[in-house]
């Protein structure tokens, strides 16, 4: 292996993740609404092409195409029995693109439902679902896990613990998705930044972050400051990561459209990096051109 340990590497300079996966798949002819995660098995070459585009753009790590590869999200596409296979294949195709020099992070997204008593999911079943996903990703050769777009503290905690126990001790990054409202930054479930950060710190994650959400570009800079401040005020040095969207989405004919250019995105990423974060990437609306421009900025 030619790459340093992931937990060491993320403390040296700014570590660059990739951008969005879904929009890149759609740009290559994949039908919106179909099961993106199943492509790891069915058409790995399309997924490989997206990963390669991000590696060529300058990403230090790619995220596996497994955001929806837990049994609950897969059940909506009729593939709940393929969790392990899809995750293992997702890790393998990402590794093919990343090679031995770049890192692969196993992407774990939410179930899309709520735990009891708010919803119908039982904690032990959710824990098992995330454990199966983490095992598949680990078998496929990931360097660590990134748990993203979480909005509820109970599901976040279950996912982190499952990735830690089933993931064979690999590093775990975790992030929640915040929106800016009248009460400041909150997740959809009402969790504020200090509460999210203190929960993640107590669970011992290796990096704490935010991703997605509907903030405008400059609001992500404020969100970043809030995350860094919350970590520091707890007396910790846990690395912080930011995966902003390409600005606020506009709804056009029912589709979310992101109009932020690579240059505008990069100006915001510079400000975000200056708040003291260690890891940068892009969420919805970002593509290889956004990542390339950020990579060039980071080199200067
Ligand atoms: Zn997003």
Note whether 6 and 143 are within 8 A (CB).
Answer: yes
Q: b or e along 16-44 (b: 16 or more beta carbons within 10 Å of the residue's beta carbon)?
A: bbbbbbebbbeeeebeeeebbbbbbbebb
pLDDT digits (tens, 9 = 90+) for 100-129: 999 999 999 999 999 999 999 999 999 999
High-pLDDT (> 70) share of the chain, %? 100
Nearest to 234 by CA among 271, 274, 200: 200
Distance 187 CA to ligand 1 centre (A): 13
pLDDT bracket for residue 300 (50, 70, 90): confident
Distance 280 CA to ligand 1 centre (A): 14
Determine the pLDDT at residue 235. 97
What pLDDT was estimated at residue 233? 97
pLDDT at 148: 98
CA distance linking residue 171 with residue 160, whole number of Å: 10
Q: Ligand 1 centre from 1 Cα, in Å?
A: 31
pLDDT at 87: 98
Q: What average pLDDT does the segment 259-266 reach?
A: 97
pLDDT in tens, 59-89: 999 999 999 999 999 999 999 999 999 999 9
Binned at pLDDT 50, 70 and 90, residue 1 comes out as: low
Ligand 1 centroid to 209 CA: how many Å?
Answer: 13
How far does the centroid of ligand 1 lie from the alpha carbon of residue 28, in Å?
Answer: 19
CA of 283 to the centre of ligand 1 (A): 4
CA of 214 to the centre of ligand 1 (A): 9
Cα(244) to centroid of ligand 1, in Å? 7
Report pLDDT digits (tens) over 228-253. Answer: 999 999 999 999 999 999 998 899 98
Å from CA of 211 to ligand 1 middle:
6
Residues 6 or more apart in contact with residue 101 via CB below 8 angstroms:
2, 3
Q: Which two tokens stand for residue 75?
A: 């059940």
* Residue-wise pLDDT tens digits, 150-185: 999 999 999 999 999 999 999 999 999 999 999 999
What's the pLDDT score for residue 214?
86
pTM for the predicted model, two decimal places: 0.97
- In the predicted structure, residue 299 carries a pLDDT above the cut 70: yes
Please tell me the distance from the alpha carbon of residue 138 to that of residue 170, in angstroms, as a whole number: 8
Q: How far is the CA of 195 from the centre of ligand 1 (A)?
A: 21
Digit-coded pLDDT (tens) for 203-213: 999 999 999 99
CA 286–ligand 1 middle distance (angstroms): 9
Q: How far apart are alpha carbons 208 and 160 in whole angstroms?
A: 11
- Amino acid 255: pLDDT: 84
Q: What is the per-residue pLDDT for 19?
A: 98
Mean pLDDT score of the chain: 96
DSSP 4: P
| Ligand 1 center from residue 242 Cα (angstroms) | 11
Q: What is the mean pLDDT of residues 133-158?
A: 98
């Amino acid at each position: 292996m030619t790459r340093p340990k992931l937990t060491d590497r993320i403390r040296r300079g700014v570590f660059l993740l990739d951008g969005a996966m879904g929009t890149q798949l759609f740009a290559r002819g994949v039908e919106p609404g179909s099961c993106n995660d199943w492509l790891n098995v069915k058409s790995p070459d399309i997924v490989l092409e997206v990963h390669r585009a991000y590696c060529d753009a300058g990403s230090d790590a790619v995220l596996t195409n497994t955001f929806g590869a837990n049994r609950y999200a897969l059940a909506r596409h009729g593939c709940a029995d393929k969790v392990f296979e899809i995750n293992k294949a997702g890790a393998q195709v990402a590794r093919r693109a990343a090679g031995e020099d770049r890192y692969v992070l196993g992407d774990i997204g939410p179930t899309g439902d709520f735990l009891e008593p708010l919803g119908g999911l039982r904690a032990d079943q959710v824990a098992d679902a995330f454990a199966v996903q983490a095992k598949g990703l680990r078998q496929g050769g990931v360097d660590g896990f990134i748990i993203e777009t979480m909005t509820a503290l109970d599901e976040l905690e279950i996912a982190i613990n499952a990735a830690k126990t089933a993931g064979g001790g690999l590093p775990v990054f975790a992030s929640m998705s915040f929106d800016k409202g009248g009460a400041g930054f909150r997740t959809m479930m009402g969790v504020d930044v200090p509460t999210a950060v203190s929960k993640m710190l107590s669970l011992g994650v290796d990096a704490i972050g935010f991703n997605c959400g509907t903030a405008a570009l400059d609001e992500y800079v404020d969100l970043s400051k809030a995350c860094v401040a919350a970590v520091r005020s707890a007396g910790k040095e846990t690395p912080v990561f930011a995966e902003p969207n390409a600005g606020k989405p506009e709804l056009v004919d029912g589709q979310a459209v992101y109009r932020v250019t690579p240059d505008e995105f990069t100006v915001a990423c510079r400000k975000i990096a200056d708040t003291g974060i260690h890891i940068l990437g892009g969420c919805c609306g970002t593509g290889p051109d956004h990542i390339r421009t950020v990579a060039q900025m980071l080199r200067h």
